[in-house]
Chains A and B, each alone.
Chain A
Amino acid sequence: MGKKKEIDDRFKKFGTKSFTLTSKVNDFIDYLEKEKVMGTKCKDCNINFFPPRADCASCLKSDLEWFDATNDTGELVTFSKMKYGPIGFEKDLPYTIALVDFGDYKIFGRIGKNIADKDIQIGMKMKVKVNKLDNDRINYIFEKI
């Protein structure tokens, strides 16, 4: 990554439209660019956090480690296909938001557009994958295993 800018606003690249500029877990974006979807783990408390947290509220430690969720297998908990979106998401419509349970943690995101509606079933096995968007933006999607 070259020299960091004075304001580390990497998080503004996240998703179709980001509402957050700076975060202590900004490295999440760098990992996405390396095709990895990462959460954080408090080793002391043995808790996996997704979305990644900078701080553990149980032991108050702030030196959490990263863990890789990219190759884990999860189960689809629920989903909804959206016919309308908020301002700034019009071009993405329709899209399907979803929640996938990986056991120790869950991930909220979208289901990849390559999966037909009729093939989406609660309980189906899914994994999370990095997804590059237009204009150098980035997020992740769920894919069928």
Chain B
Amino acid sequence: MGKVGIIGVGQSAFVRAYPGSLKELAFEGYKEAVKDAGITAKDIGASVVCSAPEYDKQRSPAGVIAEYLGLNPQPTFYVETLCSSSSMGLKLAYSLVKSGLHDSVAVIGIQKMSEISSAESQERMGRGTDIQWESPFGTMMPAYYALFAQAHMAKYGTTLEDLSLIRVKSSTYGPLNEKAVFRKSLNLENLTSPDSRMTAPIASPLRVGDCCANADGSSCIIIANEEKAKALSKNPIWILGLGAATNSVNLTGRKIYTGLPAAREAAKQAYEMAGISAKDVDVAEVHDCFTIAEMMAYEDLGFANPGKGKELIHGKETYKEGSIPVNVDGGLLSKGHPIGATGGSQIRTIVQQLRGEAGEIQVKDPEIGLVHNIGGVGLYGNVTILGR
């Protein structure tokens, strides 16, 4: 059986409060991807809609969105793995194409978080953890990642400044990304000065500047089998490796607190499937919902040994000109994090990089790109490897 290629990518702007409905938001990412692919709805055999429920008032959004996008009567699938929903959606779409069931599939990621208050949405995010045994203590996402930051600092001597340097990198590129919600430039002084809003504590040791913002947004990735991809697209980007793994929801079930085993397992699977290793990756998008999450991603993906992630950021190795550029589109920290849409946005960036169409943030001549997308606090791990 042949390869599976990505023929179109799109995303909406990620914004604080989208002034339209869920399906209208989905249309924005979809429209860009269909135009990018140069196809029409009849070229798409099925859709996979990816979001985290609970934010939406709409029940069963997949069918409603498929109709609005003009994707009737094709079947639609609904996939949810919290913040990694659209990477998981890509994996499902890949298997639908690879099995021969459909020759082309659109993966639509979406989240409209602004329909509920920020406090409500934090609570709902928090319930992507163990609601029976952890939530009654009053947990939230920043606090979970803070537990990892605290453990990483204790074990490896990681400092708040190391984490701030990751945000500095993010905000080097955020201002260049017209789809990003946070486009202000921040320097180390802004992120470390006690007077700065960015150093206000959220959950120790994490501060405002260590956390990404909620956003509304949509993304769309269109894939096709080899024959169709070659017929429809001048420069399809091939899916070389797909890894996905799960881990204990309750933190008591983890063996380490300085990394995410689901990410390590997903990376291992994806590297094996692609027949490459970490050093072959030319450009990466990682799930930096918090600064510590990017630090752990460096180590979980094998870009650095455990505890050595800080050397990459200090040496600017993860900047555009470095040895392994990471999140040069601003990452979640600058783009914002519309849960279900995030994975598709990461994939879009890597596809643009591999096509050489990334404009100001273009990395020099990349051949292999990687996407690391995490659901919950490492409940789900997804790693996707793409190549020209």
Q: Please list the residues of chain A having a beta carbon within 8 angstroms of any beta carbon in chain B.
A: 11, 14-20, 23, 50-51, 77-89, 92, 95, 97, 99, 105-110, 122-123, 139
Contact = CB atoms under 8 A, between A and B. Distances in A.
Interface string B68-102: 00000000000000000000000000000000000
Contacts of B134: 108
Contact of B138 (A20, A89, A105, A107): A89
Given A20-B131, A51-B250, A84-B202, A15 B137 contact: yes
A105 B252 contact: yes
B246 interface: no
Contacts of A92: 138
Given A82-B143, A87-B119, A122-B151, A77 B137 contact: no
Interface string B232-254: 00000000000000000011100
A83 B203 contact: yes
B304 interface: no
Given A15-B136, A51-B132, A86-B119, A99 B203 contact: no
B260 to A, nearest CB: 14
24 contacts: A15-B138, A18-B136, A19-B127, A19-B131, A19-B135, A51-B133, A78-B151, A80-B146, A80-B204, A80-B206, A82-B138, A83-B201, A83-B204, A84-B122, A86-B119, A86-B123, A86-B138, A87-B120, A97-B138, A108-B130, A109-B137, A110-B138, A122-B151, A122-B154
Contacts of A109: 137
A82 B131 contact: no
A50 B126 CA distance: 20
A85 B140 contact: yes
Given A83-B201, A83-B202, A109-B137, A20 B132 contact: yes
